[in-house]
Structure 1
Amino acid sequence: MSDEKTKIETKIETEIEPKSPIIQKKNGKNKVMILSTKSGEYFADLLLEKLGTDNFERVAMDRKQFAGGEEYYRVDVDKKSDLLDKTVIFVSSTAYDSDFLELVRVGMALSAYGTRRRIFVIPFMGYSTMERATKSGEVVTCKTNCRILSSIPKDGEGNIFFLFDLHVSGIVHYFESTIAFEVYGEQILAEGVRKLNLEPGTFMFASADLGRTAWVSSYSKKFNNTPVAFVRKTRKMEETEVHEVIGEVKGMHVIIYDDMIRSGGTLFHAVDAYLNNGALSIYTVISHFAITSEAVCQKLIDSKITKIITTNSHPMSQIKLVKESDKFIIVDASIPFAKAIRNYF
């Protein structure tokens, strides 16, 4: 893994005593406000649990849609001065364009109302797979969105963006004249793997394709350098055609890592490939449960996968099918975010 990743992981995992005078004061007027989009409320609540109510508080958002489709937002405070000189955390995955726009609009309003600093917690970064152009004329939407986020005024002590398990770590460098950090979920996902209670020497890590080799190797090292395997494939538009398995999987429990799942096509093909090559069972470790529909979730439940370990970074991790199925082990991504925020202060 890169030196940059190691440096940031060390920063996040090292406990630092709070230094900010805002955090040290314990009366309500000086508490850090935690806001969120509607779909981010569950994550903001979890974040507050980790940070504690002595120095942090949840503040509601009023929102409605007018008949013409225009959106209305309001931070639920009594008077304008309630925001003056405050530190505000805004929680929003950008899985949906509506959430992205709310983040930008509210972020700009927070700056205009005189907040001291703004911390944007983005558990899932939408459009992260559109980080480069592969065909002539393509819009690099991920870069465009990062530039839009960078345009939020940096009044006071500025803005900080915390992102989580990015599809490509270099995305943080698309932000301009602002601070962006990647928070890593490797530790909490590894704890999920330990809950499987697999005997050492009986399991290995693998990927669904050749795109996650560095991460597969990293997980392998966390478990005493287990063997690794990969799938060589070619993609034809929406269909994925799997070719060959690289690595010996016969007689092993295979744990497939991927940074996200959407339609599940790549994962399902990889599962078949490993089983056809003699794997005893298949488990998956997924950073972002970004499935496109509940039908995909049902396919996962009905699939040959034994257990799915994933985080709660994406709103789809909160659907009823996930909560009621024993196929899923959901680990809490608010834990590393809380550590990152504590370290910042």
Structure 2
Amino acid sequence: MANITEPKLISGNANRPLATAIARRMSMHRGVNMGLVEARVERFNDQEIFVEVFENVRGEDMFIVQPTSNPANDNLMELLIIADALRRSSASRITAVIPYFGYARQDRRTKARTPISAKLVANMLVEAGIERILTLDLHAAQIQGFFDIPVDNLYASPVFALDIKHQFAGQMDDLMVVSPDVGGVARARELAQRINAPLSIVDKRREKPGEVAEMTVIGNVEGKCCIIVDDLCDTAGTLCKAADHLIEQGAKEVHAYISHGVLSGPAQDRITKSAMKSLVITDSIQATPATQAAQNIRIVPTAPMFAQAILNIWNGTSVSSLFDHTTLEPIYEGLFARS
């Protein structure tokens, strides 16, 4: 790494505001201007993706910021083609910064004759020349094992813990962390431990995909300010039903902290009309105008955490240090106070 002066960032079209914010934070840390590498990522008339990098990247440590969110296939292809362009331009190392890892829900075979698409995506990323992955809250932790290259999986829970301590100062004793299903208990328990709150579970039963037939709350939520924790929210149907059910069981308020706001279809309308007082998401996926306009949806930034993680990878220092909210607190100093 002796020949590398600074890490370099390049972005696709999936979430340029986040990439710009990461570059700005890195500039603050390094004391030098670290703008995005100038490039064009565009489409021909038949929607083929074309990439041209306008700066010399020979021997450079390159970081591609590109979540594979909606449209997942287009954004994934952009990531692969950018990686190929950098590899053919003799970049020293290529790291894919994927704040939201699409296809992560297809991490196993649920029925006969179905694919494991997350593994296929992992193979494609490695074959394109990517040598390291940096991501946030993988839907299934075992996806890290799909790669034969290093994968750093950051967690939103330390950032959420900092936000909760600011937003709920004075009522921390009334908080109850809720997992919206049995599969998310580990994630909810981690946040509950960080804020020293009890844990409850919503057990749901489905008769068919997308429809919840029955919900049961495990734990006493009466009089509690409930905080639902999950890694992603798609159409928000289950989340809103869980919030309604918690209110029926005597909860005083219901809030939700979700790492990835996919928010497709009727999600924004459902959330606005639901019993939830607030939904907090990260900016891992670029918010649509409808999401930004929703009064009870709030977005917390991930750029400070990603910027520090990228610098740690470049420096060869610990990334796991960012799992601790005490490490993140100085990085996020003042941000939550203004929220």
Is TM more than 0.5 here?
yes
1:32 pairs with 2:7: yes
> d(CA) in 1 for partners of 2:155 and 2:26?
18
- How much has 1:94 moved relative to structure 2? 0.8
- How much has 1:231 moved relative to structure 2? 1.1
Residues 185, 336 of structure 1: 8 Å contact kept: no
2:57 paired residue number: 83
- Deviations along 1:249-268, one digit per CA (max 9) or x if unpaired, are 01111100011000112111
1:59 to 32, 37, 44: 37
* Structure 2 counterpart SS, 1:48: helix
1:283 pairs with 2:258: no
* Structure 1 counterpart SS, 2:178: strand
> d(CA) in 2 for partners of 1:242 and 1:227?
24
Map 1:197-216 → 2, pairs under 5 A = 197-198=168-169, 199-216=171-188
- How much has 1:189 moved relative to structure 2? 1.3
- How much has 1:175 moved relative to structure 2? 0.8
> d(CA) in 2 for partners of 1:67 and 1:289?
31
Structure 2 unaligned runs (5+)?
A: 316-339
1:132 paired residue number: 108
TM-score normalised to structure 2 length: 0.86
* Structure 2 counterpart SS, 1:149: helix
Residues 42, 49 of structure 2: 8 Å contact kept: yes
- Deviations along 1:103-126, one digit per CA (max 9) or x if unpaired, are 111101211110111121000000
Letter in 2 for 1:93: P
Letter in 1 for 2:253: S
> d(CA) in 2 for partners of 1:302 and 1:233?
21
Map 1:246-265 → 2, pairs under 5 A = 246-265=218-237
> d(CA) in 1 for partners of 2:48 and 2:311?
37
> d(CA) in 1 for partners of 2:292 and 2:264?
17
1:241 paired residue number: 213
Residues 268, 294 of structure 2: 8 Å contact kept: no
> d(CA) in 2 for partners of 1:253 and 1:305?
11
What is the identity percentage for the equivalent residue pairs of Structure 1 and Structure 2?
24
> d(CA) in 2 for partners of 1:341 and 1:161?
11
Residues 51, 85 of structure 2: 8 Å contact kept: no
- How much has 1:37 moved relative to structure 2? 1.0
Map 1:190-201 → 2, pairs under 5 A = 190-198=161-169, 199-201=171-173
> d(CA) in 1 for partners of 2:3 and 2:198?
48
- How much has 1:291 moved relative to structure 2? 1.1
How big is the alpha-carbon RMSD for the aligned residues of Structure 1 and Structure 2? Answer: 1.7
1:184 paired residue number: 155
> d(CA) in 1 for partners of 2:238 and 2:58?
49
1:50 pairs with 2:25: yes
Residues 231, 242 of structure 1: 8 Å contact kept: no
Q: State which drifts further: 120-129 or 56-65.
A: 56-65
* Structure 2 counterpart SS, 1:274: helix
1:146 pairs with 2:117: no
1:14 paired residue number: none
Higher relative contact order (CA 8 A, sep 6+): 1
- Deviations along 1:307-344, one digit per CA (max 9) or x if unpaired, are 111110012xx222333344223111122212211212
> d(CA) in 1 for partners of 2:185 and 2:268?
25
1:113 paired residue number: 89
- Deviations along 1:273-310, one digit per CA (max 9) or x if unpaired, are 111111111000101001113x3112212221011111
- How much has 1:22 moved relative to structure 2? 5.4
Structure 1 unaligned runs (5+)?
A: 1-19, 26-30
Letter in 1 for 2:87: S
1:311 pairs with 2:282: yes
1:94 paired residue number: 68
- Deviations along 1:110-166, one digit per CA (max 9) or x if unpaired, are 111101111210000001111000100011111110111111236xxxx21101101
* Structure 1 counterpart SS, 2:62: strand
Residues 254, 282 of structure 1: 8 Å contact kept: yes
TM-score normalised to structure 1 length: 0.84
